[in-house]
Amino acid sequence: MATYSVCVTKSYADNWACEVLLCLSNPGGPTEFAECRPPIHRLWKHLAKGRSFPVCNGVGFRASRPGYEPHYCDAGYRLIQRTNDRGREVTCISLRPIPVRGQSCKSLSTCTVFQLKPPHLRERPRFVDVTIDGHMSQRVWF
């Protein structure tokens, strides 16, 4: 597990975008520490108005543009998109074929098929990728 120390001085106190990313990257949650509550509450209001995610690029600290991935799959499955008569839909497909018995096997008593499952919806579907010192990268979901 990596540990980071951060010192905030008055000269950086108005750098809201970097404060937001630092707070969002906290494993205990973005509002665990009292110092993070004002910038995070400001972020929620900012995003609720349809504004873009603030961007922080400082020395040794970079953030990507925000991304959006509302669906995810269980371990052993991957997300695929497909188009059918109902439009575009997403589903999860098993990474390996799964043995099955019965009608889906046609002439065999046992066969293998790739199983399809509905995906899960993320509670926090938006993200930014934060890179620290050019080598430590972490995806922060919000």
Q: For each of the chain's 142 residues, which pLDDT tens digit applies?
A: 444 444 443 334 358 988 888 888 788 888 999 999 999 999 888 877 877 778 777 667 777 878 899 999 999 999 999 888 888 899 999 999 988 776 666 666 678 889 999 999 999 898 878 787 777 777 878 7
First to last CA, the chain: 22
CA distance 74 to 35: 35
Q: Both tokens of residue 138?
A: 């972490």
Domain-by-domain residue ranges, the chain?
A: 10-69+124-141, 71-120
Q: State the CB neighbour count (10 A cutoff) for residue 135.
A: 6
Name the nearest CA neighbour of 132 among 60, 57, 24. Answer: 60
Contacts of 85 (CB under 8 A, 6+ apart): none
